[in-house]
């Protein structure tokens, strides 16, 4: 919501420019990963199933090999036992042919010996019978196992062929899925030049300071205005911080800290992690369009970055930050610009310096912060990449907004809905307010669905439906109407019952979850912001570059 960020000193600084580029690259990477992750998961599942089936085939093949080896060994054993059996049969045949019970009776010396001989003959016959049965059973079992082996080999060959066919199919599908991922990443990242121009205009490239813009409120852009004036079933997107780099010192945060009793050194330490040191800052500095002027008594007196009626300790913190920023130019002999591209200098203010500001400069004379670029901005949205949550308890949990220093200082840009073609309260609004109807918010979701799966749609036509009447970034075009866009979606979104936004510990909106007529529609915060800024009507936007930190209200 808030809007401004430290003065442009950031844009002019080479390190700042690199950081902006890195942030943009990180945003594009997140978009690609969020879009392709589900497909990657499906690909992994397919590959896992193919590997599992292949493992089963391999196991079955090994079982057949083991069975074949077992049959081979059993056949060899059977040959050996068959030879024994043949000898036993021959011996048995001989005994039967030569057996004479009378001779046995006459040759036996006693009844006991006769009984033993008869028992032996009976035992031999019984043993032969058992061996015959055993061999017969083994021969039968061996035959059955051979038939099973032949059957299993035929079935396994068929299964292997079937799996090979399926594996080839899945490999093809996996390749297609991966190609689709690349295509999808390209469609998300490589937007048309027209869309890029719109996103650039709505994300905002200018940076302002608390002292260089009107402090007046825009009631319609506030949560109070939304609750009072918006029709029922409306939606509004409120940005935390808006045009800001989220580095260094928050000017409204410094104001609240000073009101809470913190002195300028504690404020500076909170935002920069350093205490000021004393330097010889006498002499002149070269100023664009002005010439060489006294650094302390002229240049710093004319810094117009913070209202002079703010608390004295906040003014002192601002004086040290401004001095530290400009001291680099002075020391290097470079000329410093007078706009937000560096930090705002006003000759009129220098000639007629407000007493409170003059006192803040004089009382901190020579005090600078070393080894740090002293970025600062009006409002950062409650979180700074350099120091974390700018809240009274350093936490972003629970009702954190009530603990945010910028909220306590009543920053007009801390939580704001953006709907004007610029950051001033009198900028053009395309004849509308910052809230969206059910149909308009549903259209945003349908635009996201079409971008994910175009189904023949020309995604370059996903533009604000009002682009002809109210060009954004100087663009016009032929956007799809809301009804045309719905035709590209199976079961399009037509109603939204609720919406929830989630943020993470890094001060980003991590996820947006809508409950709709087609069920849950969930996307990352960066995806929503990009789609919203590409499609939202009028000048409604989320003016944040390189990050996404916002909330969606439903009435």
Q: 381, 241 in Cβ contact below 8 A?
A: yes
Kindly state the average pLDDT of the residues 71-92.
65
> In DSSP terms, which residues pair with 553 in a beta bridge?
236
Question: In this structure, what token pair is assigned to residue 254?
Answer: 């410094």
pLDDT score for 64:
64
pLDDT score for 42:
55
Work out the number of other CB atoms within 10 angstroms of the CB of residue 536.
27
pLDDT score for 4:
31
pLDDT score for 15:
38
pLDDT at 10 over 50: no
Number of separate helices (H) and strands (E) present in the chain? 15, 14
pLDDT at 58 over 60: yes
Q: How confident is the model at residue 26 (pLDDT cuts 50, 70, 90)?
A: very low
Q: How confident is the model at residue 240 (pLDDT cuts 50, 70, 90)?
A: very high
Residues 6+ apart with CB under 8 A from 458: none
Q: Residues 496-546: pLDDT tens digits?
A: 999 999 999 999 999 999 999 999 999 999 999 999 999 999 999 999 888
pLDDT score for 386:
92
Per DSSP, helices labelled H in 99-110 are 101-107
Q: Residues 331-370: pLDDT tens digits?
A: 999 999 999 889 999 999 999 999 999 999 999 999 999 9
User: Which of 133, 121, 122, 40 minimizes the C-alpha distance to 81?
Assistant: 133
pLDDT score for 242:
83
Task: Determine if residue 447 is left, alpha or beta; phi over 0 gives left, psi from -120 to 50 gives alpha, anything else beta.
Answer: alpha
The CA–CA distances, whole Å, from 27 to 50, 170, 192, 544 equal 35, 32, 17, 12
pLDDT at 131 over 80: no
> In DSSP terms, which residues pair with 376 in a beta bridge?
249
Q: How confident is the model at residue 97 (pLDDT cuts 50, 70, 90)?
A: low
Kindly state the average pLDDT of the residues 285-290.
97
The CA–CA distances, whole Å, from 424 to 145, 214, 327, 379, 536 equal 90, 7, 31, 15, 20
pLDDT score for 156:
66
Phi, psi of 436, deg, nearest 5: -120, 150
Phi, psi of 540, deg, nearest 5: -60, 135
Kindly state the average pLDDT of the residues 179-183.
58
* Pairing of β 416-417 and β 249-250: unpaired
Phi, psi of 455, deg, nearest 5: 50, 45
Cα 445 from chain centroid? 18
> In DSSP terms, which residues pair with 381 in a beta bridge?
none
Average pLDDT score over the chain: 82
Q: 525-535 and 193-203 helices cross at what angle (nearest 10)?
A: 110
Q: Residues 382-407: pLDDT tens digits?
A: 999 999 999 999 999 999 999 999 99
Q: Is 362 helix (H, G, I), strand (E, B) or coil?
A: helix
Angle at 59 (CA atoms; ends 58, 64), nearest 5 degrees? 95
User: Which of 253, 180, 277 minimizes the C-alpha distance to 413?
Assistant: 253
Question: In this structure, what token pair is assigned to residue 149?
Answer: 């082996």
Distance between CA atoms of residues 488 and 450, nearest Å: 7
Work out the number of other CB atoms within 10 angstroms of the CB of residue 159.
14
Q: How confident is the model at residue 181 (pLDDT cuts 50, 70, 90)?
A: low
pLDDT at 103 over 60: no
What are the respective helix, strand and coil percentages of the chain, to the nearest 5?
55, 10, 35
Higher pLDDT pick, 36 / 235:
235
Q: 12, 20 in Cβ contact below 8 A?
A: no
Question: What is the pTM for the complete model shown?
Answer: 0.67
Per DSSP, helices labelled H in 190-211 are 193-203
H or E stretch at 407: helix 405-408
Long-range contacts, 525-530 (Cβ 8 Å, 24+)? 525/501, 525/549, 525/550, 526/27, 526/30, 526/31, 526/34, 527/31, 527/34, 527/35, 527/188, 527/448, 528/444, 528/448, 530/31, 530/188, 530/199
Q: How confident is the model at residue 19 (pLDDT cuts 50, 70, 90)?
A: very low
DSSP state of 545: S
User: Which of 327, 233, 301, 315 minimizes the C-alpha distance to 268?
Assistant: 315
Max CA separation in the chain (angstroms): 156
Task: Determine if residue 289 is left, alpha or beta; phi over 0 gives left, psi from -120 to 50 gives alpha, anything else beta.
Answer: left
Distance between CA atoms of residues 23 and 29, nearest Å: 10
- What are the strands of the beta sheet with 235-239, ordered from one edge? 416-417, 235-239, 550-554
Residue 396 buriedness (CB in 10 A; 0-12 / 13-18 / 19+): buried
pLDDT at 130 over 90: no
Long-range contacts, 71-78 (Cβ 8 Å, 24+)? 71/142, 71/145, 71/146, 71/149, 74/138, 74/142, 74/145, 75/142, 78/135, 78/138, 78/139, 78/142
Q: What end-to-end distance do the CA atoms of the chain give, in Å?
A: 18
Q: Residues 295-338: pLDDT tens digits?
A: 999 999 999 999 999 999 999 999 999 999 999 999 999 999 99
User: Which of 149, 103, 99 minimizes the C-alpha distance to 122?
Assistant: 99
Q: How confident is the model at residue 426 (pLDDT cuts 50, 70, 90)?
A: confident
**Which domains, and CATH codes, for the chain?**
40-186 (1.10.287), 192-207+214-240+417-554 (no CATH), 249-389 (no CATH)
Kindly state the average pLDDT of the residues 100-114.
54
Distance between CA atoms of residues 245 and 206, nearest Å: 11
pLDDT score for 88:
62
Distance between CA atoms of residues 227 and 322, nearest Å: 39
């Amino acid at each position: 919501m808030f809007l401004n960020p430290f003065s442009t000193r950031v844009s002019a600084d080479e390190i700042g420019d690199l950081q902006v580029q890195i942030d943009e690259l990180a945003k594009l990477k997140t978009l690609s990963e969020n879009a392709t992750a589900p497909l990657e998961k499906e690909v992994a599942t397919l590959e896992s199933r193919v590997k599992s089936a292949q493992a089963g085939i391999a196991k079955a093949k090994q079982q057949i090999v083991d069975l074949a080896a077992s049959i081979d060994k059993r056949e060899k054993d059977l040959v050996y036992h068959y030879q024994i059996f043949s000898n036993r049969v021959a011996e048995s045949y001989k005994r039967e042919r030569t057996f004479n019970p009378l001779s046995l009776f006459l040759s036996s010396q006693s009844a006991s010996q006769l009984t033993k001989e008869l028992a032996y003959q009976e035992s031999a016959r019984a043993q032969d019978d058992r061996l015959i049965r055993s061999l017969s059973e083994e021969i039968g079992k061996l035959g059955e196992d051979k038939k099973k082996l032949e059957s299993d080999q035929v079935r396994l060959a068929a299964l292997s062929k079937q799996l090979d066919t399926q594996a080839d199919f899945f490999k093809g599908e996996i390749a297609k899925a991966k190609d689709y991922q690349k295509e999808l990443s390209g469609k998300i990242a490589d937007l048309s030049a027209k869309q890029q121009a719109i996103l650039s205009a709505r994300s905002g490239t200018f940076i302002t300071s608390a002292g260089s813009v009107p402090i007046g409120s825009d009631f319609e852009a506030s949560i109070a205005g939304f609750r009072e004036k918006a029709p029922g079933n409306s939606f509004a997107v409120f940005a935390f911080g808006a045009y800001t780099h989220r580095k260094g010192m928050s000017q409204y945060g410094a104001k609240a800290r000073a009101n809470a009793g913190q002195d300028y050194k504690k404020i500076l330490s909170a935002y920069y992690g350093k205490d000021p040191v004393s330097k010889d800052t006498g002499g002149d500095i070269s100023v664009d369009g002005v010439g060489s002027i006294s650094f302390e008594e002229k240049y710093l007196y004319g810094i117009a970055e913070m209202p002079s009626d703010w608390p004295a300790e906040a003014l002192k913190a601002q004086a040290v930050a401004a001095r530290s920023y400009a001291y680099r130019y002075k020391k290097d002999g470079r000329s410093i610009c007078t706009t937000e591209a560096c930090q705002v200098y006003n000759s009129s203010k220098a000639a007629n310096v407000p007493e409170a500001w003059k006192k803040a400069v004089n009382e901190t004379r020579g005090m600078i912060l070393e080894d740090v670029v002293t970025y600062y901005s009006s409002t950062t949205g409650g979180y700074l990449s350099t120091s974390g949550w700018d809240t009274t308890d350093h936490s972003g949990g629970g009702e954190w907004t009530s603990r945010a220093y910028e909220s306590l200082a009543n920053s007009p840009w801390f939580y704001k809905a953006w709907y004007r073609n610029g950051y001033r309260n009198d900028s053009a609004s395309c004849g509308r307010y910052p809230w969206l109807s059910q149909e308009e918010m549903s259209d945003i979701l349908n635009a996201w669905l079409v971008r994910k799966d175009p189904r023949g749609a020309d995604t370059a036509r996903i533009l604000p439906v009002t682009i002809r009447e109210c060009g954004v970034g100087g663009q016009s075009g032929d956007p799809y109407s809301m009804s045309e866009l719905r035709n590209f979606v199976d079961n399009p979104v037509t109603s939204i019952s609720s919406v929830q936004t989630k943020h993470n510990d890094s001060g980003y909106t991590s996820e947006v979850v809508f409950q709709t007529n087609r069920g849950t529609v969930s996307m990352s915060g960066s995806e929503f912001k990009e789609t919203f800024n590409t499609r939202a009507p009028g000048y409604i936007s989320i003016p944040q570059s390189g990050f996404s930190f916002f909330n969606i209200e439903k009435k």
